[in-house]
Amino acid sequence: MSLLRLEQVSKHYGGLVANEDISFAVEAGEIVGLIGPNGAGKTTLFNCIAGYTAPSSGAIWLGEKALAGLPPERCAALGVARTFQIARTFTSMTALENVMVAALLKTHRLALARQRARHWLDFTGLAHLGDTPAASLTTSEQRRLAVARALALEPLLLLLDEVMAGLNPTEVQRAAEVVQKIRDAGIACLVVEHVLEGIMPIANRIVVLDYGRKLAEGSPEAIANDPQVIAAYLGA
């Protein structure tokens, strides 16, 4: 059984078709890239999977649990965590406190939450910044903090929405290493990304959206050479 399975998921906003008839699966232990032009419906699909909006039709399965229409906290409790395209950092708190807020959703013991938060900061390469106010972190550090917060929910599936945007090549490389480390820890990753040099080398599979529909699905190599994908998104 797949970890995540989407069956003909559609999301319409009035007459606007944000997602139409999208089906694909993510297996445990996989990194799947979700790519496509601006407005293709990538974030909307994340919102459907994580419970931030209900699909207009279709089914979303996490193992044998139906996710579609559940609220975010239920999806999170079942094992889906996400980051947001627009950061939702608590800027007046330290980095450690930001992760503790998430860890406290899994335990009410403060000392344990602090210990787990330290673990995820360390995991994402932020151990030395625990006491730093989140507002003082660089863009790259803030992205990793968002990932650490999502990991503190102890998910089975992590949805990453453009965590590599605006990073320099070295930072992209490090972010890609963190995503691989997450997969190696047994957490499947569905990764929305425009930074293709970050996602293509590490993804097991790529799903391409265009105008709300699935345009293609395949290995990074197959996708990079797919004439339809080149025409719609990659360019020559």
Q: Which does 130 bind (CB under 5 to 8 A by kind): Mg ion, ligand ATP, none?
A: none
CB closer to ligand ATP out of 10 and 44: 44
43 lies in the site for Mg ion, by CB under 5 A: yes
Strands (E), 14-151: 16-26, 31-35, 57-62, 65-66, 80-82
DSSP bridge partners of 9? 22
Site string for Mg ion, 67-106 (x = CB under 5 A): ------------------x---------------------
Helix (H, G, I), strand (E, B) or coil at 159: strand
The footprint of Mg ion on this chain (CB under 5 A) covers a number of residues equal to: 3
Tell whether the torsion through CA atoms of 62, 68, 73 and 74 is positive or negative.
Answer: negative
Residue linked to tokens 């999301």: 11
Cα angle 206-160-221, degrees, rounded to a multiple of 5: 20
The span of 16-24, 41-49, 66-74, 207-215 binding Mg ion (CB under 5 A) equals 41-49
Comparison of 118 and 143: residue with beta carbon closer to Mg ion = 143
**Least distance to ligand ATP from the beta carbon of 3, Å?**
22
Closer residue to ligand ATP (CB): 42 or 205: 42
Helix axes 139-151, 95-103, angle to 10 degrees: 20
Residues interacting with ligand ATP, by CB under 6 A? Answer: 13, 16, 18, 36, 38-44, 85
Identify what 103 binds: Mg ion, ligand ATP, none; CB under 5 to 8 Å per kind: none
**At closest approach, how far in Å is the CB of 234 from Mg ion?**
18
Closest distance to ligand ATP from the beta carbon of 178 (Å): 21
User: Measured between alpha carbons, how far is residue 190 from residues 49, 77, 197, 229 in Å?
Assistant: 11, 18, 16, 19
Q: Name the binder of 38 from ligand ATP, Mg ion, none, CB < 5-8 A by kind.
A: ligand ATP
Listed ranges 42-50, 59-67, 113-121, 136-144: which one lies at the site for Mg ion (CB under 5 A): 42-50
Q: How far is the CB of 166 from ligand ATP (least distance, A)?
A: 13
Residue 236 burial (CB count, 10 A) = 4
Binding site for Mg ion (CB under 5 A): 42-43, 85
